[in-house]
Structure 1
Amino acid sequence: MTFVEPSILWGALAVAIPIAIHFWHQKRGTLLPWAATQWLTEKNQQQSRGLRLDNVPLLILRCLLLLLLAVLLAQPLLNWSPKDTTRQRIHLVQPSALVTANFRFELDEAARKGERIYWANETPEPYSETSNGANQAGDLNPLRLQTALDKLPVSDVDNTELHLYVVNDPSLADVPAITVPAHFRLHSLIDSAGRPRPFLTANSGKRLFVDRNGQLTSATTSGPDLTLQPNPVHSGPLRVLTAYKTTPERQTVRAALAALAQVYDLPLAVDDQPVANVTYDWVLTDQLPPASQPTSASKTLYTVSGIDQTPTSTNVVFTGESLTPQTSERVAGGQLPEWLGEQLVQHYGLLTSREPLDLQALNARFVPTTRHTTTHQAAVQNTLFLLILILLIVERGLALTKNA
């Protein structure tokens, strides 16, 4: 037997209440000494010392009522399914040509045995090699996967064994957990090629991208184990505006930009004053962006120092401190160039690809759970409620009869 709310079972300790009231009820009378009957009752008083249990059936009924009430509120679930029942297998496949190609033998074997196979779409569709699911891109959406699991046409979950075929995608870590049936097997694979990564153009024909170790790299080629997108997210020099009221802050930021450009061969065209008819890719300033400019739709990155404010757009960053060695630990510790590089990487989405989960983290994403039908649960609840009602009627009858 399992319970939906097992913590409520602690309420069964309330069974001590009727027992305490029972003994208190026996002691509530006050003895009045009377000399004429002292010698007649002395013998009986000596024999009746200690605790006595009167109306034992009534006490048992009251204790049983409290115990059943605690069990009822804890919502018990009984599993009456036979232990030797053969489980039916059902297969759920991520819509991806890579998945179907890698697990072709398992899926063909399941189809030969007549086992049901579905695509993991929002509405599960029967699997076939010629259906649209086999030609989809293969991006794994954990919310869509959970919807497919919930909508599987399964009549008896307890006697069903689910086989799930997916790519080991880091997006699975974006949700707390994915619930699956109690009898569950995961078949996963790692996309060694991975999705093509975005990049920026750099000097001398180089490309600026994030490698497999998560490091910002400037190189002419990405290497055999990494694929870049066919076109850069930005080509040509980055137009940068450093609009500061104070000269020290402007000099500090320009020095950090020069270091960033030197390390990564990044082409930067920096202006101290705005030039007419020029759209800047990056504005570093100590002033709020113009309210008239639609920053949420703009491709310009704003880095605003000296203002502590919650940004209303993804392309506006507030530092909360002035970027000088006297006012910023980031500047004093020489971390400003690295921090500016991180802002650039996030703005242009260079860090969109993440490494796959390790085996332990991947298995932890899927939480097996036993799902009982509402009809089964309602039958147990109704039976307990009827039993409590009968015991309550019997208890009230005994209490009125014995005046207890």
Structure 2
Amino acid sequence: MEFIQPLFLWGIGAVVIPVVIHFWHQKRGKTLAWAATRWLQEKNQQQQRGIKLDNLLLLLLRCLVVMLLALILSQPILTGLTKPVAVAKIHLVQPEKVVVDNYRFELEEAIRKGEAVYWINAATEATGHPAQLPDQRTFNLDVLQSSINTVSEKPSEIHLYVLNNQQLANVPFIRVPAQFTLHTMVDSASRPLRPYLKLPGSGNVFVNVSNQLVSSSALSKGVRFQDFPAHSGRLKALVDFHDKTEQQTVLAALKALSDVYALGIQIDVKKEQKTGYDWVLTDQDVVAPTSKTLYVVSGKLSLPRVPNVVYWEEKLTPQTAERVRTGQLPEQLGELLIRHFNLKPNPFPLSQAQLNTLFVPTGERRENQPENLRNGLLLVFVGLIGLERWMALRQNA
């Protein structure tokens, strides 16, 4: 037997209360004068000393009520009455050749044992041949969380195989099942050159050695950059919301971001047909997204089919979004911009402490334990209370 709230078992110690009250009640007896006592002979009078256990059954009944109450509050669970839940072992793999090559033995062994292996992509495809990478290899943290949620619909033990880099730190946390094992690796062989933006007025916008977004007329000497910028010319953004409060909030955040980093973003609140936008922030569905445009859609929960469409479930107002209330919206928009242009392609790996903080296990719900047990104990408790009251009134105790 297990207890959900075992601390309440200390309440059993309260059984001393009815015992003390019982003996105290007996000790408070009063001597009543009765005329016939003068006819009794003194030799027949007996002096009683010590403790006399009157109404013993009633005392035991009251003690049992206290003990049963403590037992009910501790929420007992009879583990022997429930069947163990079958837990499937599932392997989630980032669709990268370096990851598959590094964990080839583990994945082939899992397939040999009949365990499920899935790619981490929008479709969460199952595979029996890890060496054959899928056509859809888009990987971001939204896709990662979606794949974990998909395979976690049933009780499962998940093994996750991903590259360890700062891309994982773009979200505050990732929810995983309680039975979870993380396998990470650092791709030390790949050292791509960093992209940068060439914007009029602000010069070059890039991520420096300290992994900070900066704008400068000259590129940092401590970082190797690509020969040509990832984007040249002015950044153009469209802010189109039905909710005017939300639109004003996003406009203020976007202007703050543009001012801090001297981005000089051109912001439109009404779509111009001949203008190609680099950034679209809206609360409307994206019908035909273009690959070079970053879309941020608020107030909708949907699975991203392409990496440049980001969905935020909450509406971006101070009343509905924590990121707005805490003033983090400009910073998070900046992170999306960095990710969209891949300004940090090869960041440093996360430490073990950072990984432990990032992946948050969610407590699995217990199987519904015999509610009949708790209901039965409650019925017995009510019955004992009724019996105790009946006996107490009958014996005037």
Q: TM-score range by the shorter chain?
A: 0.5 to 0.7
Q: Secondary structure at the match of 2:161?
A: strand
Aligned to 1:207: 204
**Equivalent pair of 1:121/1:148 in contact (CA under 8 Å):** no
Aligned to 1:26: 26
| Residues 4, 31 of structure 1: alpha-carbon distance in 2 compared, 3 angstrom cutoff | same
Aligned to 1:334: none
Which AA in structure 2 matches 1:199?
A: Y
* Structure 2 CA distance for aligned equivalents of residues 166 and 10 of structure 1: 47
Identical pairs, percent: 31
| Residues 167, 237 of structure 1: alpha-carbon distance in 2 compared, 3 angstrom cutoff | closer
| Residues 133, 4 of structure 1: alpha-carbon distance in 2 compared, 3 angstrom cutoff | farther
* Structure 1 CA distance for aligned equivalents of residues 384 and 161 of structure 2: 57
> How many Å apart are 1:100 and its aligned residue?
3.4
Which AA in structure 2 matches 1:231?
A: A
> How many Å apart are 1:91 and its aligned residue?
2.2
Deviations 1:297-335 (A, max 9, x none): 69xxxxxxxxxxx989x9xx9xxxxxxxxxxxxxxxxxx
**Equivalent pair of 2:91/2:118 in contact (CA under 8 Å):** yes
Aligned to 1:359: 352
- Structure 1 segment 272-291 matched on structure 2, within 5 A: 281=265
2:172 to 168, 171, 174: 174
* Structure 1 CA distance for aligned equivalents of residues 71 and 373 of structure 2: 12
| Residues 53, 97 of structure 1: alpha-carbon distance in 2 compared, 3 angstrom cutoff | farther
- Structure 1 segment 5-404 matched on structure 2, within 5 A: 5-6=5-6, 8-9=8-9, 12=12, 15-27=15-27, 29-32=29-32, 44-45=47-48, 47-48=49-50, 52-80=52-80, 90-98=89-97, 99-119=99-119, 126-129=126-129, 135-141=136-142, 143-152=145-154, 154=155, 161-168=157-164, 169-171=167-169, 174-175=172-173, 178-181=176-179, 184-190=180-186, 199-201=196-198, 207-216=204-213, 218=216, 219-220=218-219, 231-232=230-231, 235=233, 281=265, 346=334, 349-350=337-338, 356-364=349-357, 365-367=359-361, 369=363, 371-374=365-368, 377=369, 379=370, 381-390=371-380, 392-393=382-383, 396-397=386-387, 400=390, 403=395, 404=397
Q: Secondary structure at the match of 1:174?
A: coil
**Equivalent pair of 2:15/2:67 in contact (CA under 8 Å):** yes
TM-score, structure 2 as length reference: 0.54
TM-score, structure 1 as length reference: 0.53
**Equivalent pair of 1:199/1:208 in contact (CA under 8 Å):** yes
Q: Secondary structure at the match of 1:44?
A: coil
Q: Structure 1: where are the runs of 5+ without partners? A: 239-259, 269-279, 284-290, 299-309, 318-341
| Residues 40, 150 of structure 1: alpha-carbon distance in 2 compared, 3 angstrom cutoff | farther
**Equivalent pair of 2:196/2:204 in contact (CA under 8 Å):** yes
* Structure 2 CA distance for aligned equivalents of residues 180 and 229 of structure 1: 46
* Structure 2 CA distance for aligned equivalents of residues 102 and 383 of structure 1: 51
> How many Å apart are 1:120 and its aligned residue?
5.4
Deviations 1:327-381 (A, max 9, x none): xxxxxxxxxxxxxxx98x949834885754311231343437464322xx1x2x3
State the Cα RMSD in Å. Answer: 5.6
* Structure 2 CA distance for aligned equivalents of residues 210 and 23 of structure 1: 81
* Structure 1 CA distance for aligned equivalents of residues 55 and 32 of structure 2: 25
* Structure 2 CA distance for aligned equivalents of residues 74 and 172 of structure 1: 42
Aligned to 1:307: none
> How many Å apart are 1:225 and its aligned residue?
7.1
> How many Å apart are 1:180 and its aligned residue?
1.9
Which AA in structure 1 matches 2:366?
A: H
